[in-house]
Amino acid sequence: MGVVPTSARPHPSLNAMLLCDLTIREHATGKMSLIGIFENISAARFPVVHRALTVYAKLADAEGEYGIRLELIRLDDSHVVAQGTLRAGFADRMTPGELTVNLENLAFERPGRYEFRLYADDRFVAGKSFTVIQSAPAPAPS
């Protein structure tokens, strides 16, 4: 079977997009476990580097190979904090497909609202927003 032209392929839709500390796929069953799902990142001082997180996305209506782009946007000024690309293949549009993107050492200059935006072949699929919060600094030892 030949390559399906981009215009003829279905555009993926999003079933779920979550942020978590870690994902684990069980080898025997293929089941995915999401560990430490969160909506906020807290830091006492800025800028701060968040050591590791995973973006999990479950897509429907995807068939064939797509160029996937994930952008991290600071919402108050639309600044692109980070972005990356990958290729992902989906065998059957009737079976939801999963993507996990492991990210390390993300730098946040200041607290505020941020959003991960997912694109397939440069077309927007969905976004997942979260908040970076200024927490109270730890008390100084006396």
The string of pLDDT tens digits covering residues 129-138 is: 999 999 987 6
Parse the chain into domains and list their residue ranges.
8-134
Average pLDDT over residues 39-46: 95
The string of pLDDT tens digits covering residues 54-110 is: 999 999 999 999 999 999 999 999 999 999 999 999 988 888 999 999 999 999 999
Classify each residue of 16-29 as buried b or exposed e, where b means 16 or more C-beta atoms within 10 Å of its C-beta: ebebbeebeeeeee
Query: pLDDT above 90 covers what percent of the chain?
Result: 84
Q: Given a cut of 70, is residue 142 above it in pLDDT?
A: no
Answer CATH for 8-134 from 3.90.180.10, 3.40.50.11540, 3.40.50.740, 2.60.40.2550? 2.60.40.2550
